[in-house]
């Protein structure tokens, strides 16, 4: 084999390896600029904080307890910037075990909260909307679960399961494995400064989530 032939062979192998690498890792889609209203409210796109986040906004689909989309299909996962560091911490801890955060809901417009309460007028399951913003409506709470590379992690119930099994520390009807999975999610989120909501294993409140604030007029897109 001549030196020239060997050189071309090496170049070809290196090119193939580079192609495989880029295909395997993929390249994150660019994050669209935030609206002026979102920036003014101090919101950030979760993908800018947790690049490997799985965004599955259930209220942008009919796969929710209302049965119809409540967000436009272009809805994005927005949170207040005060949550950014904590989400990055939680994601990093989970990533070490091969898991990723899945976001089911983030910032929720006040009008959507009102519509939800019309459907389920029970404050035990859906927060009663008021003349102020808290929790999701303030962009300071998230609904999350865990995923492995090829599937969601078993948590014992799905999203918005309005039964006692959805309680954060439920044991009856919840397998030991699912209880451990919930505990692992809780541990990661609390390490990031979030507070567990006892009524829903998927709901976590960031700092200041319970403080009354002006209702933000921010599009969810």
Q: How many folded domains does the chain comprise?
A: 1
Q: Which of 99, 118, 172, 200 is catalytic?
A: 200
The pLDDT value recorded for residue 6 is 33
DSSP class per residue in 59-89? GGSS-STTSS--S-TT---EEEGGGHHHHHH
The pLDDT value recorded for residue 28 is 66
In a domain, 220, yes or no: no
What is the CA angle 204-43-41, rounded to 5? 115
In a domain, 134, yes or no: yes
**pTM, 2 dp:** 0.85
Collapsed DSSP state (helix, strand, coil) of residue 158? coil
Tens-binned pLDDT, residue by residue, of the chain (221 aa): 333 333 333 223 223 323 223 222 234 678 999 999 999 999 999 999 999 999 999 999 999 999 999 999 999 999 999 999 999 999 999 999 999 999 999 999 999 999 999 998 988 888 889 999 999 999 999 999 999 998 999 999 999 999 999 999 999 999 999 999 999 999 999 999 999 999 999 999 999 999 999 999 999 99
In a domain, 171, yes or no: yes
Checking DSSP bridges between strand 203-205 and strand 78-80, what pairing results, if any?
A: unpaired
In a domain, 47, yes or no: yes
User: Is 80 marked within a binding site?
Assistant: no
Token pair of 72, please?
């436009």
Give the ranges where 80-216 is alpha helix by DSSP (H): 84-95, 110-119, 176-191
Could you tell me the CA-to-CA distances from 190 to 20, 115, 206, 219 in Å, in that order? 37, 30, 9, 29
Token pair of 31, please?
């994050």
Token pair of 160, please?
């918005």
Q: Could you list the residue range(s) of the whole structural domain that residue 107 is in?
A: 34-205
User: Is 143 marked within a binding site?
Assistant: yes
In a domain, 38, yes or no: yes
CATH number reported for the structural domain that contains residue 49 in this entry: 3.30.1380.10
In a domain, 215, yes or no: no
Q: Is 193 left (phi over 0), alpha (psi -120 to 50) or beta?
A: left
Q: Which residues pair with 45 in a beta bridge?
A: 78
Token pair of 80, please?
């207040």
In whole angstroms, give the CA distance from residue 98 to residue 115: 37
The yes-or-no answer on residue 200 being catalytic is: yes
8 Å CB contact between 40 and 217: no
Q: Which residues pair with 107 in a beta bridge?
A: none
In a domain, 96, yes or no: yes
């Amino acid at each position: 084999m001549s030196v020239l032939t060997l050189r071309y062979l090496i170049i070809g192998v290196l090119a193939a390896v580079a192609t495989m690498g880029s295909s395997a890792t993929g390249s994150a889609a660019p994050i669209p600029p935030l609206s002026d209203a979102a920036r003014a409210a101090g919101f950030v796109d979760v993908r800018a904080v947790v690049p490997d986040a799985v965004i599955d906004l259930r209220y942008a689909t009919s796969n929710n307890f209302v049965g119809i989309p409540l967000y436009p299909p272009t809805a994005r996962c927005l949170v207040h910037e005060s949550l950014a560091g904590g989400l990055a911490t939680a994601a990093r801890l989970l990533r070490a075990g091969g898991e990723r955060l899945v976001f089911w809901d983030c910032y929720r417009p006040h009008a959507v909260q009102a519509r939800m309460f019309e459907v389920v007028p029970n404050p035990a399951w859906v927060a009663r909307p008021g003349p102020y913003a808290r929790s999701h409506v303030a962009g300071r709470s998230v609904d999350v679960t865990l995923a492995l590379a090829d599937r969601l992690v078993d948590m014992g119930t799905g999203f918005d399961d309005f039964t006692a099994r959805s309680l954060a520390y439920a044991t009856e009807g919840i397998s030991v494995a699912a209880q451990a999975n919930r505990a692992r999610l809780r541990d990661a989120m609390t390490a990031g400064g979030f507070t567990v909501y006892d009524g829903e294993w998927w709901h976590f409140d960031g700092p200041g989530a319970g403080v009354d604030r002006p209702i933000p007029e921010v599009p969810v897109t």
